[in-house]
Amino acid sequence: MSTENNQPTQNNDAEANKGMAVIAYILFFVPLLTGDYKKSPFVKYHTNQGTILFIASVALGIVISIVSAILRAIFWNLFTFGIYGILSIVLNALWIVPTVFMILGIVNAVNGKEKPLPVIGEMFTIIK
């Protein structure tokens, strides 16, 4: 299994396990609970990517919450909704990024590719 293989996987592994690879991006723990990641290198790769995406999403949520609380404390009394409201909308718009990454991962899984997610996909290997 390579870290980046833009060509469809050569064997039937990808074709036979596309469904579980897609599920790995939606509910990363399902392939872990069923043990399918042990049976298929293709599922293992996408389970790893889905797990990384989940961890990055949790980290993003924590950062957004902290920054939002700080902004609320600073701007709430000064400008009521104005600056705080705009910054809050911008911070919440960051949730588009993990959603786009999830869609990219699902598209790669459906196409039988082992392509890492942008930015976060090559940083870590959690499932070995």
End-to-end CA distance of the chain: 11
Quote the tokens at residue 44: 């293992």
Q: Given this model, what pLDDT does residue 14 score? A: 86
Q: Given this model, what pLDDT does residue 79 score? A: 57
Residue-level pLDDT, tens digit, the chain, 128 residues = 444 555 454 468 888 899 999 999 999 999 999 998 899 999 999 999 999 999 999 999 999 989 888 877 777 666 556 666 777 788 889 999 999 999 999 999 999 999 999 989 888 888 88
If you ran DSSP here, which 8-state letter would residue 35 be given? Answer: T
- Among candidate residues 11, 75, 77, the one with its CA nearest the CA of residue 43: 11
| Domain boundaries of the chain, sorted by first residue | 16-110
CA distances from 59 to 44, 53, 65, 108 (A): 22, 10, 10, 24
pTM score, whole prediction: 0.81
